């Protein structure tokens, strides 16, 4: 059975290797930079940078659902009738919108390390504990993203008239189903431009995680720059790759926006 899974994994990775836009057989680095510093394989830095590209993209994509879900519940808490819930949600957003992302990252990274270490010591395990940089980055960026996201969603909630909820209740829908079937689809349409901006900010903030050692675009190009002494070329490539990511996500967002507005009358 494990051989079967290994075969599947191998097939998938072989397929990904073929369509890999940077280092595959028809990859940009292979076609245009075959015999330069950017060559793939052992000759150049192409494959390392391609891996960094993948890490950056996957960190941003993994953070997005975490931030969205937390942000949604924070937005709900902010418009709740319960005073303590509102207050605690406001403390959360004030805190994480006011702190620099880099500082949040350090606080989460070292704080988690200390916390886990103390817990492990209490359980009788004395060794050193290392927190995964990807995980720490995901938490720190997710927390910051959710704080901003809650503001965007809150203003989107305010744009939905009270009558929409009442109509849902009049149809006999439960509170949760009213939210899911009636409010959420309209909420997405209103909040999408703001969420697009937040996604761009998140994409740029992932560069900070290179500071705690995650091998993302910036870290990989930085290592290449230090080894080859061609700093300008490699950091320019890092900038270009981030621009490519920004461009791709703007394409995706305009597609989603078109999908969300498909029911509106064309003006």
d(CA 245, CA 232) in angstroms, rounded, equals: 20
Which of 6, 11, 159, 231 binds another protein (CB under 8 A)? It is: 231
d(CA 216, CA 207) in angstroms, rounded, equals: 7
C-alpha distances in Å from residue 168, one per residue of 79, 179, 239: 19, 9, 48
Other beta carbons within 10 Å of 55: 22
In the DSSP assignment, the letter for residue 42 is: G
Which of 51, 106, 135, 253 binds another protein (CB under 8 A)? It is: 106
Q: Give the contacts of 262 (CB within 8 A, at least 6 positions apart).
A: none
User: Which residues, 42 to 81, sit near another protein by CB under 8 A?
Assistant: 77, 80-81
User: Which residues, 9 to 48, sit near another protein by CB under 8 A?
Assistant: none
Site string for another protein, 153-192 (x = CB under 8 A): ----------------------------------------
Total of chain residues touching another protein, rule CB under 8 A: 49
Which of 7, 18, 19, 239 binds another protein (CB under 8 A)? It is: 239
Q: Which of 44, 49, 101 is nearest to 216 (CA)?
A: 49
- Give the footprint of another protein on this chain (CB under 8 A): 77, 80-89, 91, 94-95, 97-103, 106-107, 110-111, 114, 200, 204-208, 210-211, 218, 222, 225, 229-232, 235-236, 238-239, 242-243, 246-247
């Amino acid at each position: 059975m494990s051989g079967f899974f290994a075969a599947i994994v191998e097939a998938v990775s072989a397929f990904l290797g073929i369509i890999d836009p940077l280092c595959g057989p028809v990859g940009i680095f292979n076609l245009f930079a075959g015999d330069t510093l950017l060559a793939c394989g052992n000759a150049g830095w192409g494959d390392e940078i391609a891996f960094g590209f993948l890490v950056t993209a996957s960190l941003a994509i993994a953070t997005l659902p975490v931030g969205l879900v937390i942000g949604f519940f924070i937005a709900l808490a902010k418009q709740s009738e319960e005073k303590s819930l509102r207050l605690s949600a406001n403390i959360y957003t004030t805190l994480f919108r006011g702190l620099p992302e880099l500082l949040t990252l350090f606080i989460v990274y070292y704080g988690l390390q200390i916390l886990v270490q103390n817990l492990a010591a209490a359980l009788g395990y004395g060794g050193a504990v290392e927190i995964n940089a990807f995980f720490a980055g995901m938490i720190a960026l997710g927390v910051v993203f959710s704080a901003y996201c809650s503001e965007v969603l809150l203003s989107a909630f305010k744009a939905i008239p009270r009558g929409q909820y009442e109509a849902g209740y009049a149809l006999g829908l439960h509170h949760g189903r009213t939210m899911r079937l009636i409010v959420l689809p309209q909420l997405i349409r209103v909040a999408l431009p703001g969420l697009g901006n937040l996604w761009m900010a998140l994409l740029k903030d992932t560069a900070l995680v290179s500071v705690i050692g995650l091998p993302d675009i910036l870290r990989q190009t930085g290592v290449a720059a230090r080894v080859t002494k061609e700093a300008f070329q490699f950091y320019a490539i890092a900038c270009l790759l981030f621009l490519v990511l920004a461009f791709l996500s703007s394409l995706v967002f305009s597609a989603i926006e078109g999908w969300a507005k498909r029911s509106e009358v064309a003006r």
